[in-house]
């Protein structure tokens, strides 16, 4: 299975925060599942690094992940449409980036691993065909 790991889950893992998401990142690294990332997640993770130590190893780890790319402008239009559809339902997402991340997960048939209420709201809306990881946590 393919799993797009959001920066919120990476932050827990890298900071040693004891969360379900942190434990899942560790398990996924050891598993045969395909760990995925995208440009904005890489940027968010690396901008949050507090020290240079371990950066090269982390960069190598990210280099081994499957890099998901937007499908041209269509991905960005889809992210904007998702944001608008949720707002019409009374759900305001705080970040356009979360809409794009969810769209990438759907376009590339990935689960989403995140500790982020906006991504949970997006997935629970069923406006996209993606689900939260681990599957049992999402009732899948």
Answer whether residue 138 shows pLDDT above 50.
no
pLDDT in tens, 104-122: 999 999 999 999 999 999 9
pLDDT in tens, 90-100: 999 999 999 99
| Domain 2-133 architecture | 3-Layer(aba) Sandwich (3.40)
Taking the whole predicted model, whether its pTM rises above 0.85 is answered as: yes
The Cα–Cα gap between 111 and 92 comes to: 22
Only one residue has tokens 């889950």, namely 9
Exposure string of 103-134, with b = 16+ CB inside 10 Å and e = fewer, is bbbbbbebbbbbbbebbebbbeeebbebbbbb
pLDDT in tens, 17-72: 999 999 999 999 999 999 999 999 999 999 998 888 889 999 999 999 999 999 99
The residues spanned by each domain of the chain are 2-133
């Amino acid at each position: 299975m393919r799993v797009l790991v959001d920066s919120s889950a990476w932050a827990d893992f890298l900071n040693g925060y004891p969360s379900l998401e942190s434990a899942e990142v560790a398990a996924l690294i050891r598993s045969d599942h395909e760990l995925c990332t995208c440009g904005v997640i890489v940027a968010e993770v690396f901008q949050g690094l507090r020290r240079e130590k371990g950066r090269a190893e982390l960069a190598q780890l990210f280099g081994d992940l499957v890099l998901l790319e937007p499908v041209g402008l269509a991905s960005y239009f889809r992210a904007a449409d998702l944001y608008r559809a949720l707002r019409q339902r009374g759900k305001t997402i705080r970040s356009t980036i979360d809409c794009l991340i969810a769209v990438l997960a759907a376009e590339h048939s990935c689960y989403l691993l995140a500790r982020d209420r906006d991504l949970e709201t997006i997935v629970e809306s069923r406006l996209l065909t993606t689900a939260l990881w681990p599957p049992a946590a999402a009732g899948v």
